[in-house]
Structure 1
Amino acid sequence: MTQSSRDRTPAGDGPVVSPRDTETAERLLSLGRLTVEGRLVQASNATLYCSIEWEGLTAACVYKPVAGERPLWDFPDGTLAEREVAAYAVSETMGLRVVPPTVHRDGPYGPGMVQLWVEPDPEVDLVALSRSEDEAIRRMAVFDAVVNNADRKIGHLLPVSDGHVYGCDHGVCFSAEYKLRTVLWQWRGQRLTTEAVEALRRVDKALRNGPLRETLLRLLTAEEVEATVRRVELMLKHKIHPFPPEDWPAIPWPPM
């Protein structure tokens, strides 16, 4: 069974869990019964659209089993699911909440990443949004710089009706080498906002002495965690958005 990326609604008759209710969403994603409804055929790795139910709560979610990950030349095999969970942990610590609730758990096809489905507002022009100076997009650009996102495409932006923007597909983040590749370069070299600096200070503290460090060390290599610390240090030191890398393609292809 296959489905397009725009024709899905949550299955089930129970109350639907909001991505803003992270505590409830994490419990549902961790403990709920997963039922595979279809497959996102445009994804390069096995990406399954599922319904999930637990104690009367219901939601739609994405399940990416490790067994369905395609090997990459520049990332260790079988690590993409952990990187998605790490990205969620960083987003929450920063207080930006740009990644939908995400957990690592066992599923019908083995262990993998399970993320709450966020239905984007169909009225939003994603290309125009990605080129805009919307503050929600600027938060995403700051987050991507912290996690060293090597694949921020336009189609990975999930704007919702209240103006908030979520992002998905963070499996190729946290490389120890600088590999930031994104469609969101409009602030390169510009001063960071006060909000961004405060978010960076939160994540800096948590990376040094807080539970985030322990969480990331379970999901990433020690070298990758230390590289994350250094990226945050540099952003706090210079207080500007980073510039594109000189030895790495700056924009993903295709950009959508």
Structure 2
Amino acid sequence: MSQLRIIERLPQASNGAFLAELDGVKVVFKPNHLEKELWDFPTGTLALRERATYVMDQLLGWNLVPTTELVETEQGFASVQHWVEAKPSLVEIFPSEDVPEQWLGVLDGEGPSGQPLTLAHQDLEVLMKIALLDAVVNNADRKGGHILSADDGSTYAIDHGVTFHDEPKLRTVLWGWAGQEIPTHLLADLVQASEEIRESELKDLLTEHELLATVERISELTETKVFSVPNDEWPSLPWPLF
């Protein structure tokens, strides 16, 4: 039987999340009974959505999301995601005149004293994949701090509790490719995944409406062949950004 040991609560998490060890492996433990009520997502389903995003990532073959499983608890169930020793570094805010080459500007604004600032992210294929994954799972909260760069060069996407709503809710800091053509090989991955969705574990994690909406989002991407663009009817950026 698996042994779970709580190490500490993660204070920056908006819902109940803990650093823990499961059979000696460090994990992020998110029990569903500690999820805060949200006006637009059913209570107690965020852990399911964490697992569903991992499953979607596996269908795409991109390995962006750390291994995420569901475990039973005395109060219900929880998502358990492998802990990643990494730091956010691929999304930054710069003085507007100092945005590095190979970085894509997303938003211009002003600092406290009126200095021009620009939110930007690196122009990397792995971030393209995360942007597409977010569009597929309808991620309502892709903050800059939810993209981690590991010492071995790997990049990971974490925190996927508010995903897979059947209404458009995409909020992300990765708008650098908005409206641009999706590379052909990534389109092929989307097509392959769409053919496997209905028979995958997703049918047990999502409602029928949510599953259908996911298929439709992939179809829109593969038919238009361009990255998603901001929706004027919904805030396009998460807040806070990091």
TM-score (norm 2): 0.85
* 8 Å contact from structure 1 (residues 136, 164) kept in 2: no
User: C-alpha displacement at 1:108, in angstroms?
Assistant: 6.3
Percentage of matched positions with identical amino acids: 41
* Structure with greater strand share of residues: 2
Partner of 2:47: 81
In structure 1, C-alpha distance between the alignment counterparts of 2:54 and 2:86, rounded to whole Å: 18
1:102-125 deviation digits (Å, cap 9, x = unpaired): 111124654111111111157x46
1:168-205 deviation digits (Å, cap 9, x = unpaired): 11000001011110000000000001231121011111
* Aligned equivalent of 1:46, options 16, 19, 27: 16
Partner of 2:236: 250
Number of residue pairs matched by the alignment: 217
1:235-255 deviation digits (Å, cap 9, x = unpaired): 110111011111110000000
Structure 1 stretches lacking a partner, 5+ long: 1-30
* Aligned equivalent of 1:199, options 177, 181, 189: 189
Partner of 1:127: 92
Structure 2 stretches lacking a partner, 5+ long: 94-102, 104-119
* 8 Å contact from structure 2 (residues 90, 121) kept in 1: no
* Structure with greater helix share of residues: 1
Partner of 2:174: 184
User: C-alpha displacement at 1:161, in angstroms?
Assistant: 2.4
Stretch of structure 1 that moved more, 31-40 or 224-233: 31-40
In structure 2, C-alpha distance between the alignment counterparts of 1:188 and 1:91, rounded to whole Å: 21
Matched, 1:36 2:1: no
SS of 2:84's equivalent? coil
Give, as a single letter, the amino acid of the residue that structure 2 aligns with 1:46. G
In structure 2, C-alpha distance between the alignment counterparts of 1:35 and 1:125, rounded to whole Å: 32
**How is 1:214-229 mapped onto 2 (pairs within 5 angstroms)?**
215-229=201-215
SS of 1:103's equivalent? strand
**How is 1:74-153 mapped onto 2 (pairs within 5 angstroms)?**
74-107=40-73, 110-121=76-87, 124=89, 126-127=91-92, 131-153=121-143
